[in-house]
Amino acid sequence: MLGLVASALLALLVKAPQFLAPMGQDQGLYHTVAQEILRGGVPYRDAWDPKPPAVFYTHAALLSVVSDPWRACQVGSLQPRCGTLLFQATDFLYSLVLGGLVLLLSRRFGFSAAARLLAFGFTATFVNLARLDPEGSTPEKYALAPAVGVLLAGLTAIDSGKRRWLLAARVLSAV
């Protein structure tokens, strides 16, 4: 357990600079499409970007809980945008969930406790590296959790012989 906490803290340390970074071009596009959705618009008709629709709806859901995402929030002596804090915190939590899924997958493969810890730690840390992910939540990162879920559901279907796990794998692959 201590190793998981240490890995999560390392991932947070790697993620920390992104909490202060200004919104990038992709995030601006997600923001624009999400604003249209919140006004009743439809992606690809009222605002267009070639990303999958779940990206825009996720962004819209997060925008709906922040009255003014551009407002500066006081964090000690720093003043990052409140929207940036919310999006980056959500992205960080998502990376921990992804790390947890990889941990489960490594357990299914029979890896040792040390190897499972490394799998979690590397996943949670590397998906937050600014050089790989300068803008936080990206569609490619969003696709990782369903992909790992497909593997877990498929393995469970093989082990249990229950077809409902194949349905779960199909649904996750569609996501």
| pLDDT mean for each 10 residues of the chain (175 residues) | 91 86 78 92 90 87 86 84 86 93 94 95 85 58 88 92 92 86
pLDDT of residue 136: 53
Tokens of 80: 């990052």
Q: List residues bridging with 109 in a β-sheet.
A: none
Phi, psi of 75, deg, nearest 5: -130, 95
d(CA 128, CA 130): 6
Per-residue buried b or exposed e for 101-125, using 16+ beta carbons within 10 Å of the residue's own CB: bbbbbbeeeeeeeeebbbbbbebbb
Tokens of 31: 């923001």
pLDDT of residue 95: 92
pLDDT of residue 164: 93
pLDDT of residue 98: 94
Query: Could you tell me if 169 and 57 are in contact, meaning their C-beta atoms sit under 8 angstroms apart?
Result: no
Phi, psi of 78, deg, nearest 5: -95, 155
pLDDT of residue 50: 86
